Chains A and B, each alone.
Chain A
Amino acid sequence: MASMKCPKCAAPVEFDAGDRFVKCSYCSSQIFIDKAGAGFIYALPFSVTENDAVGIFRRWAAGPTRAKDLDKLAQISSLKKQYFPVYMFKRDVNGMEHVYIEPAASTTLPGLHNLKVPGGDLKIFDDRFDTGGAELVKIDIEMAPYLSSLPGTAKEQALVYFPIWRLDYAFEQRAYVAVISASSGEVFSGDFPKRSSGAYMAVAGLGFLAFLAEGLLAIASPVLAGALMAVTVAGVFGASNYVARRM
C-alpha cells in the first residue's frame, strides 16, 4: 500500500494500484486519483517459488516438442530470481484508450522483447515493498523518449517490475536459457533442444500403408489378409509404444 495526503485535511490516505477513488478515513472525503501526470512504479509479487520454478521447467522440458528426457538430462547451472522492468502506457488516442507496453531494459532473454504485462496483483513499489531478495534488472531505457513518441495524450504511465526466474541449463554440452514468469508460471524460451518427429511419422506412415495394402489383399484372400492384419496391429502397437516411451 502506498499513501498520499488527503487534499482536504492532509491526513495520510492509503491506496492500492488499481484504485481510482479512495475515501479519506479521517474526513471521509472522496478523492479521485488522477494518474495522467504522474509515473507510478508497480511490482508483481512472486507467486512461483524456487522449487515451483524448477518443477515448472521440468514439466515444460518433458513436453512433446522438447528433446526426449530433457526434463531428466538438462543440467540446471543457475537459477536467478529477477525483477524485469517494463513500461506500461495508457494513452487516449482520439477518444480510445490504448495500452502500450515497452521494455525498460535491453535484453536478449526470450519472451521479454515481445512484451506484455503479465496478469498479476499489481503492488505499488516503494521502500516498503519486499522484493524477496530478487535482483532488480537495471533500467537502461528512459521513459521520456517513449512519452514523446507515443500517439495521443497520457492517461497513465507506469513502470512495472515483473517477476521472473531466469534458468540456465545445459544439454549435450550446449547452454540454453529459459525464463519462467513467476506470476503465472508461463515458460518463455527461444532456442531449446528439439525432438524429432521422424520416428513418430515412420510408425504412423508405415502402419497406414501396411493396413492399406492388407485391405486391398483382403479382396483376393481374406484369411491371409486377416492374419497379416493381426500381426500388423501387434507390430504397430509395439513400435508406437516404444516410440512414445523412448524417442
Chain B
Amino acid sequence: MAISVGLNCPACGGAIQVAEGDNVLNCGYCGSLLWAEGDAGVMTVAYRNVQGRDSVLRATEQWWRKGWKARDLREKGKLLECYPIYLPFWSTTTRVAGWICGYEERRHTDREGNVRTERIPMEEMVLNDYRYTSIACDPGDLGIRYLRNVGGEASFADFESIPTFESTTSKDEMIATSKQRALEEARGDANVPHITFERVIAIPKGISRIYYPVWVVRYSYGERMYMATVDGVTGNVLSGRAPGDPLYQSLAVTAGTSIGGLIAAGGLAFGLGAGEGLLALIGLVVGGAVLALTYRFFRHGSEIVEGDFEGKAADMRGKLMKEARRTFRGFHT
C-alpha cells in the first residue's frame, strides 16, 4: 500500500496546494473550487520566539530571588544550559447558546417575625464563547499544561531551527472535554440558583494547534540539578523547581503554631466564657487550619515547585478553568 498520495486538480490536472486543516480551496491553475475530503487535520499556528539566551537566563536569575527559595541560590546556583523548544497546544473555541430558566428564592422577615419566601422567576439567555488551551503532548517534567498567553506574532520562521515536540494526544478528546467544560461554565455564568428548565447546546467552533516557544533552563545547586521554563514570547518564568530553605520552613511552622495556637485559645476562652460553644469550635478550626497550611510548607518546603507538575494534579483542573475564565472571555449578552 502506498503511503503517499499526489494531489491534482480533478478538473484540469494541475498540481494543487493544500495546507493541513484546509478543506475548501481553489486550484491555482483553473480556479476550480475544490473540497478536500478525508483525514481532516488541524490548522496549525506557531508563535515567533522573541526571547534570547541572555534574557532567559536573566529571567531565571530574577526568579531565584522571588518566593521562599534558598537564600544562597544566587551564589550557589549555576546556570548550565538553556535551549528553546516548541510545545504543541490544542486551542479550542466553543460556543454555548441556549436558555436557562429557573427561580431564585429570597426570604423576607416582617415585623412580627414571620418568614415569607419569595420566588423570583429567572430566564437567562446564554450566548458565550469559551476558549481553552491544553498541551497536546505529555509534558513530562516541564510543569506546563496550558497556555497563559495566547498573543504573539504568528510565524514559522524559527520552525526549522527549534526542536518541535510532536502532538501526541487526540484532538477529538480535546473538543469533547472543551464542550463539557464550556457547558459547565455557561451554567455557572447564567447564575440561576434553581434550574427548572434548560436548553443549552455547545457548538465546537474550531480547534487549532499552536506551537508555542518555551525555553528550558537547567541549573545546578550543589550536586543537584533543577530546571525552570521560560515563556519564549513574554519572557516570564512559567514553571520550575528550586531548592527551599530550612530557615523559611522553620519560620513558617513557628508562625503557624503560635498564631494558630493563640487563635484556638482565644476562641476557646471567649466561646466557653460566653457560653457560645460554636465560637469555641470556630476558633479551634481556624487555628487548626492555620497550623495545617504552615505545616505543609514546613514538611514539603525543602523543594519549591512552581507550575503544573504531577502530584499537584488536584488543583490543576480548577486552575485551568479559572485561567480560561480570566483570559478568554468572549461576549456576553
Residues of A within 8 A of B (CB): 4-8, 13, 17-18, 20-21, 27-38, 45, 47, 52, 54-56, 58-59, 62-65, 71-72, 88, 90, 95-99, 116-122, 155, 181, 183-187, 197, 200-201, 203-204, 207-216, 218-219, 229, 232-233, 236-237, 240-241, 243-245
Contacts and interface: CB of A to CB of B under 8 A. Distances in A.
A173 B299 CA distance: 27
A216 B253 CA distance: 20
Nearest to B162: A121
Interface in B128-160: 135, 137-142
B268 interface: yes
B302 A64 contact: yes
B247 A241 contact: yes
Contact of A204 (B164, B246, B298, B303): B298
Interface string B97-134: 00000000000000000000000000000000000000
Contact of A96 (B80, B176, B294, B300): B176
B257 A208 contact: yes
Given A58-B223, A232-B258, A119 B140 contact: yes
B264 A204 contact: no
B241 A64 contact: no
Contacts of A200: 295, 298-299
A119 B87 contact: yes
A30 B27 CA distance: 12
Interface stretch (B167-175, B181-189, B313-321, B324-332): B167-175
A45 B85 CA distance: 13
B274 interface: no
Nearest to B44: A18
A207 B254 contact: yes
Nearest to B291: A208
Contact of A208 (B172, B226, B261): B261
B231 to A, nearest CB: 17
17 contacts: A20-B41, A32-B6, A52-B225, A55-B224, A62-B243, A62-B302, A98-B172, A117-B138, A121-B163, A184-B142, A204-B257, A207-B254, A212-B264, A218-B265, A219-B269, A237-B254, A244-B298
B238 interface: no
A48 B250 CA distance: 35
Contacts of A65: 300
| B interface, size bucket | 35 or more
A71 B6 contact: no
Given A4-B3, A34-B4, A211-B261, A119 B224 contact: no
A54 B224 CA distance: 8
A207 B170 contact: no
Contacts of B253: 203-204, 207, 236, 240
A7 B27 CA distance: 20
Contact of B2 (A7, A72, A233): A7
Given A52-B80, A59-B225, A71-B224, 18 more contacts: A8-B6, A21-B18, A21-B20, A29-B6, A30-B7, A47-B163, A52-B225, A59-B241, A63-B303, A96-B176, A97-B170, A97-B171, A97-B172, A186-B310, A208-B261, A212-B268, A214-B261, A236-B258
B24 interface: no
Contacts of A203: 253, 298
A155 B257 CA distance: 59
B16 interface: yes
B11 to A, nearest CB: 16
A243 B17 CA distance: 67
A229 B258 contact: yes
A207 B139 CA distance: 41
Interface in B202-228: 218, 220, 223-227
